[in-house]
């Protein structure tokens, strides 16, 4: 095996039981150097539990987590916790000692992580500038807003310039501007060769920043792939077509059934896993059509041509919504998992 084939982090048959609850269920995953991996799943899926085992805060009931050392040997985080010195963690909403200033806190964490003393001062400034809290350097944390504390949590995780950055819901409580900032910080970290493993509910954020997503439900890994690959696995794609003028309610039925007929070769059976009965819907809230089609490359053009030819609708946009696609993948995979489990 060549060095680049050795994963930086390896989750191996990882399982965690809390009494009767199996929070993480035989989880296997490999993360390679320089990747940004997003762990997504519904509440209670086991994301935080998996991350806490990676941080060696919780011990696995079965299986193990391995991290590559400088000699390219995989080390178990339980038996060799020193391997985590090159990692930084943000887990849950940080609960800082509020009487300290941002500067004092970061200095404290840098010391905890044995960051070289002669570099601490400049590193603190650098990180505070990165998270745009430099002006607040000497202010006490107790006057910080929730979002500012969350950003300080990110600063704490990266203060010692770790190779691996592990973040549990880094964007929780952040406003849109701060979420964009965090996204850019993560991309910058990646550019500097860091590897990032994050859990999030924010599908859009995940799709914007992550190379691959790991979808988990009830502790088990359902899928792990690039979003584009996951989309290919999904037998359903959606086109949104927004209109200049709304369709009058009396015309909606006739237009939709005419279009179902004309577009029939390009549409697919509505998934048995969704509530949607028809292939084409008119959604007044977006003043547009939602069309479930076969996802083939040339089909979009054929659908657009048919819409122009067969209707008087004035089309102002025609696109496949990316976030929506990810939501659909997410819902579809979780629903399939539930159906499969029920059958067991
Ligand atoms: N210390 C604990 N004791 C008992 N059960 C726990 C403990 N921690 C987590 N659990 C259970 O393990 C399961 C997974 O929880 P976990 O916090 O890992 O989920 P999560 O994916 O992070 O959810 P969320 O999206 O809500 O943060 C849940 O059923 C939870 O109740
Ligand atoms: Mg959690």
Percentage of the chain surpassing pLDDT 90? 68
What the chain holds in terms of domains, given with CATH numbers, is 3-225 (3.40.50.300), 232-343 (3.30.70.100)
With cut-offs at 50, 70 and 90, classify the pLDDT of residue 215. very high
Angle at 156 between CA 154 and CA 160, to 5 degrees: 115
What mean pLDDT is predicted for residues 125-136? 95
pLDDT at 234: 64
Of the candidates 17, 9, 14, which has an alpha carbon nearest to the alpha carbon of residue 33?
9
Mean pLDDT of all residues belonging to the chain: 89
Locate the ligand 1 atom nearest the alpha carbon of residue 52 and give its number. 18
Structure confidence by residue, pLDDT tens digits, 49-99:
999 999 999 999 999 999 999 999 999 999 999 999 999 999 976 677 888
The closest alpha carbon to 239, from 263, 255, 258, belongs to 263
Q: Is there an atom of ligand 1 within 6 Å of 45 CB? A: yes
Q: What is the pLDDT of residue 272?
A: 42
Tally Cβ neighbours within 10 Å of residue 100: 15
pLDDT of residue 273: 38
According to the model, what pLDDT value does residue 92 have? Answer: 73
Question: How far, in Å, from the CA of 177 to the mean position of ligand 1?
Answer: 29
> What is the C-alpha separation between 228 and 278, in angstroms, rounded?
25
DSSP 8-state assignment for residue 101: B
Distance CA 295, CA 119 (A): 53
Q: Which of 223, 224, 233, 241 is nearest to 321 (CA)?
A: 241
pLDDT digits (tens, 9 = 90+) for 218-265: 999 999 999 888 877 765 678 899 999 999 999 999 999 999 999 988
Would you state the pLDDT for residue 195? Answer: 97
> Using a 6 Å cutoff on CB, does residue 91 contact ligand 1?
no
**Ligand 1 close to Cβ of residue 16 (< 6 A):** no
Q: What tens digit of pLDDT does each residue of 261-301 get?
A: 999 888 875 544 355 567 899 999 999 999 888 877 788 99
Q: Which of 18, 172, 217 to mutate to test the pocket of ligand 1 (most atoms within 8 A of CB)?
A: 18
Q: What is the pTM of this model?
A: 0.81
The count of residues in the chain is 344
- Residue of the CA atom closest to atom 4 of ligand 1: 18
Angle between helices 117-130 and 102-112 (to 10 degrees): 130
CA–CA–CA angle 26, 32, 33 (5° rounding): 145
Q: Which atom, in ligand 1's list, is nearest to the CA of 47?
A: 21
Number of H helices, E strands in the chain: 10, 14
């Amino acid at each position: 095996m060549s060095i680049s084939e050795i994963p930086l982090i390896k989750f191996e048959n990882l399982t965690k039981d809390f009494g009767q609850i199996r929070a993480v269920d035989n989880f296997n995953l490999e993360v390679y150097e320089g990747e940004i991996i997003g762990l997504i799943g519904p509440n209670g899926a086991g994301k935080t539990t998996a991350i806490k085992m990676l941080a060696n805060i919780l011990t696995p009931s079965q299986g193990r987590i391995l991290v590559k050392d400088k000699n390219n040997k995989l080390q178990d985080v339980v038996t060799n916790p020193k391997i985590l010195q090159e990692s930084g963690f943000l887990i849950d909403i940080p609960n800082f000692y509020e009487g300290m200033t941002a500067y004092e806190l970061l200095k404290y964490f840098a010391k905890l992580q044995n960051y070289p003393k002669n570099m601490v001062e400049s590193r603190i400034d650098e990180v505070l500038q990165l998270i745009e809290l430099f002006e607040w350097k000497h202010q006490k944390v107790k006057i910080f807003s929730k979002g500012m504390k969350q950003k300080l949590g990110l600063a704490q995780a990266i203060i010692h310039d770790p190779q691996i950055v592990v973040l549990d819901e880094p964007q929780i409580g952040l406003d849109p501007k701060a979420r964009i900032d965090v996204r850019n910080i993560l991309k910058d970290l990646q550019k500097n060769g860091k590897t990032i493993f994050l859990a999030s509910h924010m599908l859009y954020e995940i799709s914007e920043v992550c190379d691959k997503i790991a979808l988990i439900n009830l502790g088990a890994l359902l899928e792990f792939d690039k979003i584009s690959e996951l989309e290919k696995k999904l037998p359903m794609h959606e086109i949104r077509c927004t209109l200049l003028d709304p369709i009058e309610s009396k015309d909606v039925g006739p237009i939709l059934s005419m279009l179902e007929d004309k577009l029939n070769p390009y549409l697919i059976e509505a998934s048995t896993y969704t509530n949607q009965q028809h292939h084409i819907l008119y959604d007044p809230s977006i003043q547009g059509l939602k069309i479930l089609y076969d996802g083939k490359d040339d089909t979009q053009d054929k659908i657009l041509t048919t819409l122009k030819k067969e209707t008087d609708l004035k089309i102002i946009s025609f696109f496949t919504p990316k976030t929506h696609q990810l939501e659909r993948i997410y819902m579809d995979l979780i629903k399939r998992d539930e159906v499969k489990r029920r059958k067991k």
